[in-house]
Structure 1
């Protein structure tokens, strides 16, 4: 069958018709889980321990006859629901944006032009180009195919791929399964060949829609960090419950009031309950993934964000990732002499045949960048000559295989049984097909070496003629004659050398893996600044090596050339055996095992297959190496900020718990904090740890320090102790105000007002101080963070109201204090961070000397 993309049959829909169809038919997506409504979120809050404690406190106050305080505490339930609702919606919005990006993509023909779109934008009657590794976006009829085979196991349960035939114009659509059907089905995977199909049904009307299987790409799975946090929360909860019971018993014995004992116990439980931990983790992961998507990196597996900060090796493809993937034919060799393709219109006749057969051996509407470059050159120089054969009909294609890196296409020129065969491929494969003599091989090998030394990608081109009705099974059975060589260049992306430098600065090694020649690979490696660019391992060498040999050699080799995708798995395993944390890029079906085996599999979003995307942890939306480096930077920022947030939670909970606990053990001392105070503090703590710290920009040294040890706990004993030390500092200062206030004759309510003012001031100070563990407080204040301004401004405003409005003074059990007294308390609260600021300065000194 002749494939003429310029014919009406293959012109496809217009953009206007497609937009109209989306409006009428809806998007091509299956119904997914609906967003949580207000009642679902409210029910989620009802199950929270903090909610139950608030309700218990409110009820106890009502029982004690304190209606005002009881109703206020129950009113806070709605405030907490509001915060929870806002956080839930923000997280949901981020995840929805990711799901849209994660949906399979489709290559469609619209207005006669190929265009890659999201699978959800495919409509009925769309023409979709299917290639090996693509996931079929909708049920469709096959109009054109070459060796098209699909894996329909998702629908039929049969693991054996089935072949597809072209539609004869009359066959009716039937159920999936069985060979030679002219229909493909949504969700199935193209495992071989290519073709063009016309969409018949989308969304819920497809076979997979009828079955009702939802394909969710963004799945939540328990990560190492979640497990660590769960253990920490469990331990803190056990300690909190034990102390709560102790407080109830001691209070009842020392003061003889069981109901107030329960209130004191519940206050302590609220002070110690680490309910922020799971919320913070969820918000940071969801918003972190959303932030990364804005940097052209889609997170498919949450664990990848954790692992990014620990990556020690980045293994990257060359073509399209380090280079622009916009190839042009740069040089030709016809067996006797070279021709450099310039910008002039001059193109000697003696080189025409190389391009003529290069075009014939390429797809009519190529997707491959090298084939596009050859076709473009033909359009520029050979248009309207006898070298362009639009009237020839292609009758068979011999695809590229791992055994023979060459492809051939057979054409009939309408003469009786006379057929022309055009082949192109790796020069060695073309030598093999043409059965060249040793002297001919040497001559061509010298030309290849010269071209490759300039960083060019070299292909051999050959032709054959045959007069026969039946074609042979393999390419070797043709009598090929070599025509020449063509060399293509693919310039590196402008920002790659800087990105590689940044990787080395961050302690991350970069390895380039390519199917190109060693000379080409070394040339590119030098250009982008890789270490040891002169040392390479080739695919054949790699194949011959044992695992132990490779583990030894790979320690100082950063360039792998002439590597086939299956060998990437061997490279990943060797690096992992050496204790490296490996990030690996890939785009093809054969890359999937290596992507799965790597600690972080990174699939290409533009030229990558759906198989590669589904095997990966991250998807690079722009196929740019710099975006990977940006993702590492973002991953480190997310984890730095998460550590700061958890550090702050520990730091502020220590004084709250201490101030709730200590007065209980002395009968003469009044209790300092009651549930209303804890609730007010929580309204500052919750948005601080989930919004303020999440929005904080990265530290200046984020990419100038080595990767985090993967086995090191995220928030280990040393960090917990450091954070708790900040809390102990606050506790000491606030308790000193409480103790000396009582000694100096201040009333219980005045002392409570003084201590609470100091506690709020210390809380604000510790928010600012923990925004950075490397910059001092003055640098932090000068660094913009809008969320911090709102939280701190709100806390200050409400504290002023509480200290001045009679109704609130009564509610919080305060007495009015003077401006001077409040100022002293604020100063005392802020002084609690002095030691931590000094610690940051002294800690920074050895690091600075080390960097210098």
Structure 2
């Protein structure tokens, strides 16, 4: 195997090669190493093959890349690399076609039975009555079945398209890449072989690659190997695999396999990915649908038995059966099956699906990406939000506003700082060398910073002191780095200075670092012993900064002996306090209003932060979270008993100095108290709390990939206001499903009881098979479209959350259902029994006119009842009517089809045209549903008023008795006067 000769080329010489010539080599596919070789090396983790190729730098050279400057990265270069090595896109299972869903809908058992009935009815009808008159019953059922199948398939297909788009959105991950000397952030789908990428704590490894350099890199490979113990990656273990996660440290990596050539790509190819997740609400409604379907089955069976009994009683000769008799039996059987079809509320799960899909699409526009369906509806019932401070309540744009260096106080924009050289040197090292962020020039003179917001603030503060990052970093060599994590709350770096000395720098939480110091720097740069007085002064500065809502960090250093190189970690004592810096992260615009909105909606907001008590209290006051509640710190909360914690939680509003373990404990205790808890998080260590919470909300900008992977919803703009919007959408979903359930149960009860009662008294059902199938479409697909897609409105946040024990079908809903179903049954029964007499129908077609009017009135009742269900909590059902054009379209479409069915498709729909007066009567019957709704609302309001009045009178009477008892006691007491 000819792998090509390799001669190391200095980075400067490599970068001096003209871009045109580099891209020309790429155009000619002039890569001296093959994709198969790289894939085999990764899959076998072959160090011998890696050595045979010349090592990491040699492979980078053969891939036309440099570990110092990256690839050329222009359009031609990128296209050619994708052509030769593939793209970093893992192929998904092909999307099902529309015709697949049509075929699937045709396999519904009840529709198959109806289709058989339609075929037999068609044959018997044609054989007995001829083509002209015999096709109507069977043909009408067939057309209705086709419409039901097509509507169901279209709905399922549309849902699959929406969810596929959401899946693609969920899998968008960004990473830092080095191209043509520039560090930039790109989507992992755009990675190519040869890219140099940066990995830090919490990142997901986006492709297979080789470790170039880094510090303390710890990789969680459980997703690939099943090993629970994290693996160290360094110069001895160089292979990094896509899909694994960085648990600690940071590193640079050379990408050598992408897409389907990666270990994750091979594993995913074997998976059959199906989105079959069923939300809790769907499970509840599926159970409700089964119950209603069973009731419908009993009604259908009873109707069929009654029809058969009446038919057999009227039949003169039970032993002689003509084709006409069989045709009657088929009509009875198809009617019974249709009653079951109508009774089974397929629209319930469909309404949930439509509501979720609609809300998820809208929530992306509101900067929230849903990763788990059930989180949408759960968030609507949330009673408590535990929120981070930095980046969520604040802008996450840190700036050093104040600093105390060597006892000298510096303030931004006040004056240019003047520090002696023996202070400035260590200070710049602490700001710029003990810092994992970086500055990149984009070629236009504009500089971009990459890294955490806190470290970027320190980086900019260092640059403002009149130097450059390159100048400071070239002046010393980094030997060891201890990355920051939330457990240690500090970061350390060991430097080798030009004169050969070793110097350790640390920075972190002020109290922790200050406890590790025994000296401090004075104004002249001299190290002086830190006595109690100077320590109190420094603590006073920390408190002063904190009272001004500044986050404080302490910077310290010490010169150490060479043998410390062999120690595993930097020393934990003996440091000299160099500086205390105060960093401000401004409150986001709109946060205070969002917090007030949560309060009015009955949602508690608890701020959980790692900052000290003073800073946390100040920010909580500024954002409106802290009113008259309790503030506690993590260590104090940790030491309390379970009962003690729950007593504190009743009034807790701020938890400061909290660790990830405290946050996890807080969530569990709140849940044990019956709260539905939403938690925000951005770090790797927030993953347990995010997973434990009822709804985990990860930050899309500042959040790590581990946090996003553990979360249910990703807040794309890291804004607390977006979290409140998620809660509003969750409540909207819950309310929309309630609207649909009220609408469908009303129509179900009315249709089942009407058919059964008519069968008992008249021997035939007033609604035919075709008419019932059309009503089924109105109740299911069209009703779901109209009511499940209502947009959220601000009034939703004026109501308390449902919580864990809230009822899905409320008492008011039962009032509405019973009132509307009772009205429909009453008026239609009157038409059925006395319709001919009341309407003066004496002509030969009086029976057909009456049957058509009953059908027409029933459908119009459902159309007007959609308005009632749409605003089931309001007296004015036309409130914000034009806020949902889809609702208006469904109503107009349903009314139009109904007119066509009655006036033009008499044979097909078993109806005859009606005159103007008859249409007005039907419209009056339908529209009177609005009056019934108004009456019910007035009754509910009056009953609430009376109940509240009675309750207040009882309270008054109770207080009156207590007052009299106290007054009687005091009148017999000589010690006081009342």
Tell me if both proteins adopt one fold, taking TM over 0.5 as the criterion: yes
Shift of 1:501: 0.4
Is residue 2:827 matched to residue 1:827? no
Is residue 2:115 matched to residue 1:55? yes
Worse overlay, 838-847 or 510-519: 838-847
Secondary structure of 1:474 counterpart: coil
User: Could you tell me how far apart the structure 2 residues matched to 1:163 and 1:482 are?
Assistant: 33
User: Could you tell me how far apart the structure 1 residues matched to 2:290 and 2:648 are?
Assistant: 46
Is residue 2:726 matched to residue 1:636? no
Is residue 2:431 matched to residue 1:362? no
Report which of the two structures shows the higher radius of gyration computed on alpha carbons. 2
Secondary structure of 2:879 counterpart: helix
Is residue 2:807 matched to residue 1:710? no
Is residue 2:475 matched to residue 1:391? yes
Evaluate the alpha carbon distance shift between residue 404 and residue 809 of structure 1 in structure 2; reply closer, same or farther with a 3 A threshold: closer
Cα deviations across residues 185-229 of structure 1 (Å, max 9, x unaligned)?
Answer: 011111121112122111211012223467899954343322222
Evaluate the alpha carbon distance shift between residue 534 and residue 242 of structure 1 in structure 2; reply closer, same or farther with a 3 A threshold: closer
Matches within 5 A, 1:284-683: 284-342=355-413, 346-350=416-420, 352=424, 354-365=427-438, 367-383=451-467, 388-400=472-484, 404-416=488-500, 418-435=501-518, 436-468=530-562, 470-471=564-565, 472-476=567-571, 479-532=574-627, 535-667=630-762, 670-683=764-777
Shift of 1:629: 0.5
Match of 2:143 in 1: 75
Match of 1:269 in 2: 340
User: Could you tell me how far apart the structure 1 residues matched to 2:466 and 2:944 are?
Assistant: 64
Evaluate the alpha carbon distance shift between residue 315 and residue 781 of structure 1 in structure 2; reply closer, same or farther with a 3 A threshold: closer
Q: Which structure 1 residue ranges, 5 or more long, are not aligned?
A: 167-179
User: Could you tell me how far apart the structure 2 residues matched to 1:21 and 1:313 are?
Assistant: 52
Shift of 1:413: 2.9
Shift of 1:374: 1.3
Residues 267 and 660, structure 1, Cα contact 8 Å, conserved in 2: no
Evaluate the alpha carbon distance shift between residue 699 and residue 705 of structure 1 in structure 2; reply closer, same or farther with a 3 A threshold: same
Worse overlay, 7-16 or 263-272: 7-16
Partner residue of 1:740 out of 827, 831, 834: 834
Residues 663 and 671, structure 1, Cα contact 8 Å, conserved in 2: yes
Match of 2:21 in 1: none
User: Could you tell me how far apart the structure 1 residues matched to 2:912 and 2:512 are?
Assistant: 91
User: Could you tell me how far apart the structure 2 residues matched to 1:79 and 1:376 are?
Assistant: 66
Secondary structure of 2:714 counterpart: strand
TM-score, normalised by the number of residues in structure 2: 0.80
Residues 726 and 833, structure 1, Cα contact 8 Å, conserved in 2: no
Partner residue of 2:189 out of 120, 137, 144: 120
Evaluate the alpha carbon distance shift between residue 758 and residue 155 of structure 1 in structure 2; reply closer, same or farther with a 3 A threshold: same
Match of 1:802 in 2: 901
Match of 2:289 in 1: 233
Shift of 1:349: 2.5
Shift of 1:329: 0.7
Residues 307 and 710, structure 1, Cα contact 8 Å, conserved in 2: no
Shift of 1:693: 1.2
Cα deviations across residues 11-56 of structure 1 (Å, max 9, x unaligned)?
Answer: 4453636863697476533333322223421232123245224314
Cα deviations across residues 263-322 of structure 1 (Å, max 9, x unaligned)?
Answer: 332232233222222222222223322322322222222222222122111100000000
Evaluate the alpha carbon distance shift between residue 588 and residue 41 of structure 1 in structure 2; reply closer, same or farther with a 3 A threshold: same
- Which stretches of structure 1, 4 residues or more, deviate above 6 A after TM superposition? 214-218, 845-850
Residues 352 and 788, structure 2, Cα contact 8 Å, conserved in 1: no
Residues 216 and 482, structure 2, Cα contact 8 Å, conserved in 1: no
Evaluate the alpha carbon distance shift between residue 726 and residue 781 of structure 1 in structure 2; reply closer, same or farther with a 3 A threshold: farther
Partner residue of 2:211 out of 119, 136, 142: 142
Match of 1:20 in 2: 79
Residues 867 and 877, structure 2, Cα contact 8 Å, conserved in 1: no
Q: Over aligned residues, Cα RMSD in angstroms?
A: 2.9
Cα deviations across residues 536-584 of structure 1 (Å, max 9, x unaligned)?
Answer: 2112212322222111112112111111122111111222222221111
User: Could you tell me how far apart the structure 2 residues matched to 1:237 and 1:459 are?
Assistant: 65
Residues 500 and 530, structure 1, Cα contact 8 Å, conserved in 2: yes
Cα deviations across residues 428-460 of structure 1 (Å, max 9, x unaligned)?
Answer: 222222224322221100010111100001111
User: Could you tell me how far apart the structure 2 residues matched to 1:95 and 1:539 are?
Assistant: 40
Shift of 1:76: 3.0
Match of 1:155 in 2: 224
Evaluate the alpha carbon distance shift between residue 463 and residue 533 of structure 1 in structure 2; reply closer, same or farther with a 3 A threshold: farther
Evaluate the alpha carbon distance shift between residue 326 and residue 469 of structure 1 in structure 2; reply closer, same or farther with a 3 A threshold: same
Match of 1:171 in 2: none
Shift of 1:586: 1.2
Match of 1:816 in 2: 913
Secondary structure of 1:484 counterpart: strand
Q: Which structure 2 residue ranges, 5 or more long, are not aligned?
A: 1-9, 16-65, 126-133, 313-327, 439-449, 519-529, 949-978
Partner residue of 2:887 out of 788, 799, 814: 788
**Aligned pairs, how many?**
831
Shift of 1:646: 1.4
Partner residue of 1:206 out of 262, 273, 277: 262
User: Could you tell me how far apart the structure 1 residues matched to 2:219 and 2:877 are?
Assistant: 62
User: Could you tell me how far apart the structure 2 residues matched to 1:441 and 1:755 are?
Assistant: 90
